[in-house]
Amino acid sequence: MTYLAKPRFHHPALPENSLGYTRRDYEGSVSTLCAGCGHDSISAAIIQACFEVDLPPHRIAKLSGIGCSSKTPDYFLGASHGFNTVHGRMPSVLTGANLANRDLIYLGVSGDGDSVSIGLGQFAHAMRRGVNMVYIVENNGVYGLTKGQFSATSDRGSKSKRGVVNHDAGIDLVGLALQLGATFVARSFSGDKAQLLPLLKAALTHRGAAFIDVLSPCVQFNNHAGSTKSYDYVREHNEAVNRLDVIDEREPIHVDYEPGTTTLVTQHDGSVLSLHKLAPGYDPSDRVQAIAYLQSHQARGEIVTGLLYVDPQACDLHHALGTVDTPLNALGDAELTPGAVALEKLNASLR
Ligand SMILES: Cc1ncc(C[n+]2csc(CCOP(=O)(O)OP(=O)(O)O)c2C)c(N)n1
Ligand code: SF4
Ligand SMILES: [Mg+2]
């Protein structure tokens, strides 16, 4: 793999966040993706979101699978922990890391091939178990890295660059995540930073499985007429359910109140989501309605974007398992080997 380090020079007047970091402290190496690839815009939004919510880079762990999308963690958060796993296996490796050290903030980055073709089972179990993570799929409807084969998110009837028509039904990850029990479900578009940035910030403050499907055109293999994941197609068929801002519990980051159009949602950790409703009557706390809304718009050929569903009281896998507050990897011999008497007591309780 080629690594191109970014020059460290930056303007001395660059704004700092509350930790004293500038945006540049959240960058990674220079991207080697094709110019105009949607994935690079997502990397830029991740950098901005982590900077704006004041995350210490060394407390973040970014994990990915294989693909152009899965290469992107090299292009952001250069000072964070990183693990480029095997194709489709990011969720299980991330689950293991999360169980071992619950104190890190987990970012899972994947592609539609990585998560929906080879890794569909892994995706499903991470969602249903409520692994505390932000799971981002950079969805271009093709296997970009291996030269443009259809993926399982390609819509039926869409055309490849060479004119081949896809006859299989496409899998909608947002609908799937809703059915699987994800407690934060959103969709956005790589070319809509104004929508993607607050969604990322909200997902980073959510405790539980937060899923964001980001439509991300592949300019090399899926940006032509006939593709349903191209820049033009998505722009023409985008139906936004809401706009949101994230308000930190103590210090407002950015607020844009519009009388009569705002609903506040307090999350489990005390942070507040401010939802600006564009679709009259849309309620992001109703999972059943979210599924129905999604499907009715899908039937009309519309791609619903925005925050589809959030459970403000969500609990994560550690809560379900009742693990101790101390990260398991920080426990010493005394806690891990309590001795024969404790073992005998445990065995007796199971008889
Ligand atoms: C076990 C295994 N099978 C197949 C491959 C070949 N392969 C590499 S990337 C990829 C698809 C990537 O598609 P996607 O996740 O959508 O990423 P994109 O490149 O489109 O961003 C495939 C099939 C592999 N690396 N490992
Ligand atoms: S092949 Fe497609 S997905 Fe891969 S870097 Fe190029 S534009 Fe992006
Ligand atoms: Mg892809």
Indicate if ligand 1 lies below 6 Å from the C-beta of 128: no
Q: Judge whether 134 and 203 are in contact, CB under 8 Å.
A: yes
Indicate if ligand 1 lies below 6 Å from the C-beta of 143: yes
pLDDT for the residue 46: 98
- At 266, is the pLDDT very low, low, confident or very high (cuts 50, 70, 90)? low
Closest listed ligand to the CA of 87? 1
Query: How far is the C-alpha of 150 from the C-alpha of 161, rounded, in Å?
Result: 10
Indicate if the pLDDT at residue 269 is higher than 70. no
Indicate if ligand 1 lies below 6 Å from the C-beta of 69: yes
Q: Is the pTM of this model over 0.85?
A: yes
Q: How many CB atoms lie within 10 A of CB 327?
A: 16
Q: pLDDT tens for residues 27-62? A: 999 999 999 999 999 999 999 999 999 999 999 999
Supply the residue whose CA is at minimum distance from atom 6 of ligand 2.
Answer: 34
Q: What is the DSSP letter of 148?
A: -
pLDDT for the residue 142: 95
* Index of the ligand 2 atom closest to the CA of residue 147: 1
Q: Judge whether 277 and 265 are in contact, CB under 8 Å.
A: no
Ligand 2 binding residues, C-beta < 6 A: 33-34, 37, 39, 68, 140, 144-145, 218-221
pLDDT for the residue 6: 77
C-alpha 138 to ligand 3 mean position (Å): 7
Query: What is the mean pLDDT of the segment spanning 263-270?
Result: 54
Indicate if ligand 1 lies below 6 Å from the C-beta of 146: yes
Q: Which amino acid is it at 315? A: C
Indicate if ligand 1 lies below 6 Å from the C-beta of 40: no
Indicate if ligand 1 lies below 6 Å from the C-beta of 66: yes
C-alpha 196 to ligand 2 mean position (Å): 20
C-alpha 164 to ligand 3 mean position (Å): 17
Q: pLDDT tens for residues 78-132? A: 999 999 999 999 999 999 999 999 999 999 999 999 999 999 999 999 999 999 9
Rounded to the nearest integer, the mean pLDDT of the chain is 88
C-alpha 239 to ligand 1 mean position (Å): 30
Question: Residue 122, exposed/middle/buried by CB under 10 A (0-12, 13-18, 19+)?
Answer: buried
Query: How far is the C-alpha of 60 from the C-alpha of 57, rounded, in Å?
Result: 6
Supply the residue whose CA is at minimum distance from atom 5 of ligand 2.
Answer: 33
Candidate from 72, 87, 109 with most ligand 1 atoms within 8 A of CB, to mutate: 87
In order, the DSSP letters of 48-85 are HHHHHTT--GGGEEEEE-SSHHHHGGGGB-TTSEEEE-
pLDDT for the residue 271: 54
C-alpha 220 to ligand 1 mean position (Å): 15
Candidate from 37, 143, 222 with most ligand 1 atoms within 8 A of CB, to mutate: 143
Supply the residue whose CA is at minimum distance from atom 1 of ligand 2.
Answer: 144
Helix intervals (H) in 130-222: 173-180, 193-204
Q: pLDDT tens for residues 222-262? A: 888 888 888 888 888 888 877 777 655 544 333 343 433 44
pLDDT > 70 in the chain, percent: 89
pLDDT > 90 in the chain, percent: 69
Query: How far is the C-alpha of 157 from the C-alpha of 150, rounded, in Å?
Result: 11
pLDDT for the residue 276: 44
Q: What are phi and psi of 110, to 5 degrees?
A: -150, 175
C-alpha 89 to ligand 1 mean position (Å): 11
Indicate if ligand 1 lies below 6 Å from the C-beta of 114: yes
